[in-house]
Amino acid sequence: MKPNTPHPLISVIPLLVLIVLIATVMKMLPDEALSGASQISMMIATAICVALSMAIYRTRWQLFEESIKKTIGDTSVSILILLLIGVMSSTWMISGVVPTLIYYGVQIITPSLFLPCACLISALVSLMTGTSWTTIATIGIALLGIGNALSVPEAFTAGAIISGAYFGDKMSPMSDTTVLASSVSGADLFKHIRYMMGTTVPSITISLLLYLVMGLWFSGERVEPSIYLQGLEHSFHITAWTLLVPAFTGLLIWEKVPSFITLTLSSLAAIVCAIVLQTEALAEITGQANASAGSLLMGVLKVCYTSTQLDTGFQEVNHLVATRGMAGMLDTVWLILCAMCFGSCMVASQMLRSLTRILLNSIRNTFSLVTSTVVSGVLLNLIMGDQFLSIIMNASIYKEEYADRGYQPELLSRSTEDSATVTSVLVPWTACGMTQSTVLGVPTLVYLPFCFFNIISPLMSILYALIKKIPVNPPHTTEA
């Protein structure tokens, strides 16, 4: 027997509790928000949801248990993909793929092209690593220093770096936010990425043109980021041969090979590349002087499952080439499991349906549906202070509505990414906003006007829905 639909005032209580707890966590424990504090907050909110539903509406516990089992079961493949992403990002680093891209990329910088180059380099590194945070904390700091040497305002530079980093984070199959948005929306990972190109490519193109115009204001001497070049040369064999790995991966994606297989084969290709070209780096990871077969095997295993560090001779470069392996994804996996528990209990209790009825009553067509999704994604960042929670909640709210109207799940996942993912860094009290402003030393509200990609993306998503006919899949449409 299904429970009665709770009153909206009752349904909103677990959500308000979660918001208050998350806000408290972000204020008191900002460095540990994703390491357990947010997860505990979600479990407390889950407990309150279950308690209210069982006490007031006599909902049976079995309904919650079955919903949790189904939801977590549905995300099991995504969790495996996240672990593989940890392996892939680490093997790409140690194999020399990412270092080679950085090495060649930073040498093209000239004063007039600095801002678009900063955006492109950040985008490339983030696309290869799948993380905007690491990109900004490493190559982003170097680019900020170069900008200072060229007398480019820090706000301009920070905006270009963040725009590029979040473009790469959004489009990379190794990004946890990309995997999360596609999984909770029920979309295939690589189909989700291809679908995002309709709004993301125009957004980054407009952003680059704006940075190019701004860059024409500056002039100066060519700057060589020698520290990074020397550090990368010290620890890696820099060669264009390593670029065969991303080329092979791109081919797999183009051929629409399933995500799990693509990530596995790409990781194996990077491992082969590391064994052939980066034997000294693998030996250093194991702490052994000689690159024997045993040390190479041990080095590969450590790269895949745990954090590694190389001594490049420069502290800034050490942070850039550090890897996390599978272990680096465990906090995200933990968060997903807790979020799935909260979401499934909100669904089983009918509380989510009670709240979404209020949000969905004003929706009449595709434009209003996408606009509502984008606006709520931005508002959830403002309210919840965490992009992961915003992505999960936004997709959960609209998932059934998109399916009932016959839209592909990729439309939902794209609208969620165009809003919840990219605008999180523009909110001063979110984890993203606080982290990036601290790392770059530029206040959030100072760099905000120059994060063109992050500002344009949600607007482009709404514009695309207005001028482009969105295909509807009749078999998914619910009969009246």
How far is residue 165's CA from residue 128's CA, in Å, rounded to a whole number?
Answer: 11
How is residue 421 written in tokens?
């993912």
How far is residue 457's CA from residue 366's CA, in Å, rounded to a whole number?
Answer: 18
Residue by residue, DSSP assigns 300-319 as HHHHHHS-B----S-HHHHH
Residue by residue, DSSP assigns 391-437 as HHHHHHHHHHHHHHTTB-HHHHHHHHIIIIIHHGGGSTTSHHHHHHH
The answer to whether 38 and 332 are in contact (CB under 8 A) is: no
Enclosing H/E stretch for 75? none
Listed by start position, the domains of the chain span: 69-480
How far is residue 198's CA from residue 470's CA, in Å, rounded to a whole number?
Answer: 11
Fill in the amino acid letter for 307: S
Closest CA to 440 of 158, 160, 30: 158
Confidence at residue 480, expressed as pLDDT on a 0 to 100 scale = 29
What is the sign, positive or negative, of the torsion defined by CA atoms of 324, 329, 331, 332? positive
pTM (2 d.p.) = 0.69
Closest CA to 137 of 328, 322, 306, 311: 322
**pLDDT tens digits for the chain (480 residues)?**
455 789 889 988 988 898 888 778 877 876 676 678 878 888 999 999 999 999 998 999 999 999 888 878 877 777 888 788 788 888 988 999 888 877 886 777 777 888 999 999 899 888 877 778 778 876 787 788 777 766 788 899 999 999 999 999 899 887 888 888 888 888 888 889 998 999 999 999 999 999 999 888 765 555 456 777 888 888 899 999 998 998 898 788 677 787 788 889 989 999 999 999 999 899 888 887 677 788 888 999 999 999 888 988 888 788 778 888 888 878 778 877 887 788 788 888 988 778 777 777 777 788 888 998 998 888 878 766 678 878 888 888 888 888 888 888 999 999 999 999 999 899 876 778 877 887 788 888 889 999 999 999 999 999 998 887 776 665 444 332
How far is residue 433's CA from residue 136's CA, in Å, rounded to a whole number?
Answer: 12
The answer to whether 408 and 473 are in contact (CB under 8 A) is: yes
Confidence at residue 66, expressed as pLDDT on a 0 to 100 scale = 92
Which of the 8 DSSP states describes residue 187? Answer: -
Confidence at residue 18, expressed as pLDDT on a 0 to 100 scale = 84
Q: What is the largest CA-CA distance in the chain?
A: 74
